[in-house]
Structure 1
Amino acid sequence: MTDRPIEDYAVIGDTCTTALVARDGSIDWLCWPCHDSPAVFLRLLDEDKGGACEIVLDDVRETRRAYRPGTTILETVFVTATGTLRLTDFMPLHPLAEVPDEGPDGAPHGRIVRIAACEAGTVSGRFRVRPTFDYARDGAVLEPEAGGTVLCRRRSKPEGVRVAATVPLAVLGDRVEAAFALRAGEGVSLVLAHRKDDDGDIGHAAASLSATEGYWHEWSGRCTYDGPHRDSVLRSALVLKLLTHAPSGGIIAASTTSLPEAVPGTRNFDYRYVWMRDASFTVTAFVNLGYVREAAEFLRFLRDADHSRGRDLELMYGINGRVPEEEILDHLRGWRGVGPVRIGNAASSQHQYDIYGEFLVALHAFLDAVDYDPPVKVNDHLPEALGHLTDHVIRCRHAPDHGIWELRDETRQILHTKGMLWVALDRAVQIAEAVEVAPPERVEEWRRVAAEIRAEYHDKGWNPRVGAYTQAYGSDDLDAAVLRTVLFGAFEPDSPRVAATLEAVSAGLGDGDLLYRYRNADGFEHPEATFSACAFWRVGCLALAGRMAEAEPLFARLLTRGNDLGLFAEEIDAGSGEQRGNVPQGFTHMAIINHAVRLDRAARHRDAPMDEPFRQAVGA
């Protein structure tokens, strides 16, 4: 099958990188050794030129799959004409004897392990490995080795992938094959290893599976959410954990690049970087589930990436440096032929001032979770960082920007940005009230400027012609991002104008349960699909307004929009129901977590008003 639907893919990973596994068992996407490294397998973006690691079975009649509970270990069951085979896929991540205060909490091995076990009858087939290095720009040399392994290396560099199996390997042109014929109770294992000194260690695949399962069970067991949507929340938490980069502490936005947000269209972008906004959202989601260490690890990343301590905060970062310049790979056709395929991201040079609010929300949530007793390296730099961040807010309060949606045309006085600037100063004040980080006159300045910003966007953001708060000052365009500002307390959720805005956004941007971000021109030719996180924001606004009878069933229906494994991309095509955009998308999964927590807390306090600390703790 070619051009598989985006929702056909599952994700496995080891907190260094991830791989996407199709429903038929083909690994069609893998960047090694890091999330933003050049792709080794990229059939996801070009069926012909992009390599893969396939399992090819004779006469498959039925396929079903699931993750082992509480883990990222994927099991796919194939029923053939003659028997049943279970394929177990994982990237080894073993527990540490002692978890350090900072740094990775597990030991990734830089491998992919595939274990195929015949459970009934007989099953015959083969593994087929075809790497296409550097986004299929570099050739592969396949070299059989003395121990029965095969080294697949780049033609121009010593980098490569070593293939090992419990059955003989054969080099057939540009691929390696491992043929097998199994009876019930028999199995075969395949290991792909990235490290040059790794022989694949094929004899220890079962032990590695057990150790990896132990790591994930321990991690999942620390999730504090016990509400009615625990399975969805935990799966989303596991996705977010896979999007972390343990060596650095960074958190990327999504695993892939260039999966289109519009078909046809040119809205194809590279999300394998650390957005300040998306990472801050993820920090808040982690804190809401009790994963405070993951939040602290992101602060470690930021401390190492931004030596200015907030003076020169960037919109996005590469895992190991700056985001590369945007580049189009015109030799690749793109998913379903929808190009271009991009690496790097031009939005890294944009002005998006809402990031100060996003980060301060996350910092406030983290500090509150640790009772304002953070690690020494955070505490020592807190006054300086807070001073720099609030300086940014005050300096840019009147400036136009590109906003949360990274509009690639003109800058505007965007309402969401203004609301998040108020949020930034509000959280700075709350931090200062809990711990001495600034002199009283400075904190009073934050209060004063915050009040001025709030009064301004309440006045200039309201459009009486539209009967709603709109995307930008003087604009007639609706924007679902306005709903986010309500979730953070920038507007009163039960005010008549907010109620009118919610109705206007639902009517003007809604398509059933789904919401578009906006519908105005944005510099691209074709309109995009609905944005999944926006639909969850509507849930939050309904809950804050006390409309739980609407919020709870809407949330439950939205959860069914994921694939069979509970995974979401960035967007959903309202007509076909297909996923669109990069996958798995952290933005969507953090929205699932935060709104499940919001609904659970609201249900427990259904007869009591929702106080401000509750609103702020949950996030968006």
Structure 2
Amino acid sequence: MNNLELWPVGNCQVSGLIDTKGSLVWGCVPRVDGDPVFCSLLRNGGDEMLGGSWDVELEDQVSVDQRYMRNTPILLTRLVDKSGGEVLVIDFCPRFERTGRMFRPVSYIRIIRPVCGSPRLKMRLMPMNGYGSSLAAMTYGTNHIRYLVDKHPLRLTTNASVGYLIEERYFRIERDLHFFLGPDEPFVGNVAHEVNGMLEATEAYWRLWVRGLATPLEWQDAVIRAAITLKLCQHEGTGAIVAALTTSIPEAPHSQRNWDYRYCWIRDAYYTVQALNRLGALDVLEKYLAYLRNLVDDSESGMIQPLYSVTGQRELVEWEADGLEGYRGMGPVRVGNAAYHQVQNDCYGQIILPNIQAFYDRRLLRMANEEDFASLEKVGEMAWKMHDQPDAGLWELRTRTAVHTYSTVMSWAACDRLANAAEVLGLADRQKFWTDRANAIRGAIEANAWNEKAGHYAASFGGEELDASLLQLVELRFVDSRDDRFQATLAAVEKALRRGEHMLRYDSEDDFGRPETAFNICTFWLIEALHLAGRDAEARQLFETMLSHRTQSGLLSEDMDFETGELWGNFPQTYSLVGIINCAGLLSRLWRDVR
């Protein structure tokens, strides 16, 4: 049983995580990196009165069953009492087109629907202020409760008895009850009618979005759930894609590896749009490219940092929230991320690679032009300038640097793809210019990353160490999967870093000692490499094993205990969901096989 049994809901403005009791235990306002008014996920779980949750409790409850409404992030939680009484709790955040624009308010909706018997239920709603530092004060009227959350006060509008809610009393559920928690504004219209309409429209939106996905034949449910959740990780207002919806869930027990992932890492977002592109979800790509264009415009001479806020803010000062004890009491709870001022040279390639599609793809509403190419050349200049310079690497080491092979290969890819864009634009001189640079970087990699004595590519220039990112050399088209050097590197990486059914990212000491858990995306990279090496049966078996480790909601976090299979790290993790989509696409039988 995974302790991270959580069910995400959201609308690309706000998101929430609901636990196996039907409680909303994590949710930030007014956006994903805001104050977690629902924060009990990171509180010591022994005292229910600590606050930071929205609970529903059925009197004499004996069972709970949860599932998503098909092809949506609308959660259905069925609660049953000892007398056979049942209620259905429907949780969602509204998202649909209205009056010519997307309606995605800062709001959470719950519907309590009696199914049978005479169930009695108690509701407890306790939002907090200042990262768990205090309960929000409240005032109330005849059909609403106001919660005085700092900066973003909330109003609960309902057709249930406000008195029962305030006093937290059990009461009989004899009709559908509707709860709309949103901005502190009067709710217009009949709450039952309006909320039912929002449910219907939100269901229709998501089912139509899923219908447009080009899913593989096999593992469709897993791919669809991963795709929906990846979309929930995009902040619609700007197009930014966050790495996860949470902060400070540790990578391993008591490890202090507790990081805030509610920001847009250029690397993680690149992999996300790449995976969704393979499913044809161009809306995510288009919004993200707009976000990237703004980052490039705001950059100084093309210099890009590894991560930004969802609005493009550069400074993400890291601090610790004293009001929260941490996941299962394992603090600290960090806000912000000091990695923003690190040097990570792979980010230049990860800016350029997703942008190149816009020069080719005629489905896009806005195709790229020569002006866009000129902006990207600024980023390419930085890739060239930094390709042989030390950096913190993709694993964001905080106390040492090296010339990391992965970063340099990304710089090569940046120059290589710029040459491709120049070709489609008919700019022969720029094509030659970037081709020459790509060739020069390739020569540096072959000369400095290949370790003749060890017989494999190393993770850094002149080094001997290995890390799982070397498995990406084929995906980035630097080498062919049949290349002798890659085959030797695959064998070396597998021998050094594979732990049964799992892969470590590296096995050397870092700022916090040796890694204690496997990094899920690295296991998916191994599956891809096994497939490309012709070891399909082994790849499929390993993929099925990874799918078996998903939560009941069909999702994965960042890390996994390679002995017990328990999930650790922030949740849901975009990297891990990307792995599900990519591996399913590679390994699935073709649609034509069954037609």
TM-score (structure 1 length as normaliser) = 0.89
User: Are the counterparts in 2 of residues 287 and 369 from structure 1 also a CA contact under 8 Å?
Assistant: no
- Report the equivalent of 2:568: 580
Q: Residue 50 of structure 1: CA displacement? A: 4.8
The CA distance in 1 between the partners of 2:550 and 2:261, in whole Å, is: 19
1:462 to 436, 450, 455: 450
2:420 corresponds in structure 1 to 430
Matched, 1:559 2:535: no
Aligned counterpart in structure 2 of residue 202 of structure 1, from 178, 191, 194: 191
Q: Which residue of 2 aligns with 1:164?
A: 157
Aligned equivalent of 1:150: 145
> Structure 2: how far apart are the matches of 1:81 and 1:495?
64
Residue 89 of structure 1 is matched in structure 2 by 91
Alignment of 1:307-456 (within 5 A): 307-308=297-298, 311-320=302-311, 321-370=313-362, 375=366, 378-379=368-369, 381-436=371-426, 439-456=427-444
The structural deviation recorded for 1:558 is: 1.5
Contact 1:168 / 1:179 at 8 angstroms: preserved in 2? no
Does the 8 A contact of 1:96 with 1:107 survive in 2?
Answer: yes
Q: Secondary structure at 1:251's aligned position in 2?
A: coil
1:228 to 218, 232, 235: 218
Instruction: Name the CA distance, whole Å, in 2 between partners of 1:70 and 1:190.
Output: 23
Distance (whole Å) between structure 1 residues aligned to residue 75 and residue 493 of structure 2? 39
Q: How far is 1:368 from its partner?
A: 3.3
Secondary structure, counterpart of 1:533 in structure 2:
helix
- Show the counterpart of 2:485: 497
Which residue of structure 1 lines up, in the alignment, with residue 177 of structure 2?
Answer: 188
What does 1:507-518 correspond to in 2, within 5 Å? 507-518=495-506
In structure 2, C-alpha distance between the alignment counterparts of 1:34 and 1:456, rounded to whole Å: 43
- Percentage of pairs with the same residue: 31
1:475 aligns to 2:463 (yes or no) = yes
Aligned-residue Cα RMSD (Å) equals 2.4
Aligned to 2:238: 248
Q: Supply the AA of the counterpart residue of 2:78.
A: V
Q: Could you say if the C-alpha distance between residues 170 and 506 of structure 1 is closer, same or farther in structure 2, counting changes exceeding 3 Å?
A: farther
Q: C-alpha displacement at 1:365, in angstroms?
A: 3.4
1:102 match: none
- 2:103 maps to a residue whose letter is A
Distance (Å, rounded) in 2 between the aligned partners of 1:315 and 1:520: 23
Q: 1:218 to 1:557 in 2, by over 3 A?
A: same
Q: Residue 553 of structure 1: CA displacement?
A: 2.6
Distance 1:312 1:177 in 2: 54
Closer/same/farther in 2, CA of residues 179 and 300 from structure 1, 3 Å limit: farther
- 1:70 aligned residue: 71
The CA deviation at 1:165 is: 2.6
Matches of 1:178 and 1:165, distance apart in 2 = 16
Distance of 1:231 and 1:296 partners within structure 2 = 25
Residue number in structure 2 paired with 1:614: none
1:410: Cα distance to partner?
Answer: 1.1
Contact between 1:33 and 1:194, CA under 8 Å: does it hold in 2? no
Change (3 A) 1:327 1:197: farther
Gaps of 5+ in 2: none
- Any residues of structure 2 matched to 1:221-300 within 5 Å, and which? 221-300=211-290
In structure 1, distance between residues paired with 2:27 and 2:435: 48
| In 2: Cα distance, 1:602 partner to 1:58 partner | 50
2:507–2:514: 8 Å Cα contact kept in structure 1? no
Please tell me whether residue 20 in structure 1 is matched to residue 21 in structure 2.
Answer: no
State the partner residue of 1:116: 112
Answer whether contact 2:226 2:581 (CA < 8 A) is retained.
yes
Structure 1 stretch displaced more, 8-17 or 506-515: 506-515
Specify the SS of the correspondent of 1:129. strand
Check conservation: 1:27, 1:54, Cα contact below 8 A: yes
Q: Which residue of 1 aligns with 2:556?
A: 568
User: Which whole-Å deviations, capped at 9, do the CAs of 1:134-161 have from their partners, x for residues lacking one?
Assistant: 212344211012x32110103xx45322
Tell whether the 8 Å contact from 2:272 to 2:574 is kept in structure 1 after alignment.
Answer: yes
Stretch moving more, 244-253 or 339-348: 244-253
Q: Distance in 1 between matches of 2:456 and 2:410?
A: 18
Retained in 2: the 8 A contact 1:361–1:424?
Answer: yes
Letter in 1 for 2:94: P
Deviation at 1:93, TM superposition (A): 1.0
The one-letter amino acid paired with 1:317 is Y
The corresponding residue for 2:53 is: 52
Task: Determine the C-alpha separation between the residues in 2 that align with 1:367 and 1:550.
Answer: 38
* Structure 1 position 357, deviation (Å): 1.7
Contact persistence 2:59–2:122 (CA under 8 A) = no
Q: 1:529 to 1:368 in 2, by over 3 A?
A: farther
Deviations 1:79-108 (A, max 9, x none): 220222221110111224546xxxxxx311
Q: Which amino acid in structure 2 is aligned with residue 131 of structure 1?
A: P
Contact persistence 1:162–1:200 (CA under 8 A): no
Q: Distance in 2 between matches of 1:66 and 1:453?
A: 50
In structure 1, what is the Cα distance between the partners aligned to 2:410 and 2:445?
11
Cα offset for 1:182? Answer: 2.7
TM-superposed deviation, 1:604: 7.7
State the distance in 2 between where 1:485 and 1:178 align.
Answer: 60
Q: Go from structure 1 to structure 2 and tell me whether the alpha carbon gap of 1:446 and 1:259 turns closer, same or farther (over 3 Å shift).
A: same
Amino acid at match of 1:312: M
8 Å CA contact 1:50, 1:135 repeated in 2: no
CA distance in 2, matches of 1:215, 1:195: 26
Q: Deviations over 1:537-589 (max 9, x none)?
A: 11111222232222223222222221112111111111221111111111111
Per the alignment, residue 107 of structure 1 pairs with 103
SS in structure 2 of the partner of residue 541 of structure 1:
helix
Matched-pair contact (CA < 8 Å) for 1:25–1:76: yes
Counterpart amino acid of 2:34? S
Partner of 2:200: helix, strand, or coil? helix
Structure 1 Cα separation of the partners of residues 310 and 418 of structure 2: 27
Q: Give yes or no for contact 1:113–1:192 (8 Å, CA) kept in 2.
A: yes
Q: Hey, what's the Cα distance between the residues in 2 that align with 1:594 and 1:466?
A: 31
Determine the C-alpha separation between the residues in 2 that align with 1:285 and 1:392. Answer: 26
Distance 1:119 1:391 in 2: 63
Asked if structure 2 preserves the Cα contact closer than 8 Å seen for 1:316 and 1:323, the reply is no
Q: Tell me the distance in 1 between the aligned counterparts of 2:391 and 2:465.
A: 16
How far off its partner does 1:230 sit?
1.4
Say whether the 8 Å CA contact 1:539–1:551 is kept in structure 2: yes
The residue identity in structure 1 corresponding to 2:438 is A
1:540 equivalent among 523, 528, 531: 528
Q: Which amino acid aligns with 1:267?
A: R
Deviation at 1:209, TM superposition (A): 0.8
AA partner of residue 218 (structure 2): P
Does the 8 Å contact 1:35/1:272 carry over to 2?
A: yes
Count of matched residue positions in the alignment of Structure 1 and Structure 2: 585
Aligned equivalents of 2:21, 2:196: Cα separation in 1: 23
TM-score computed with the length of structure 2 as normaliser = 0.93
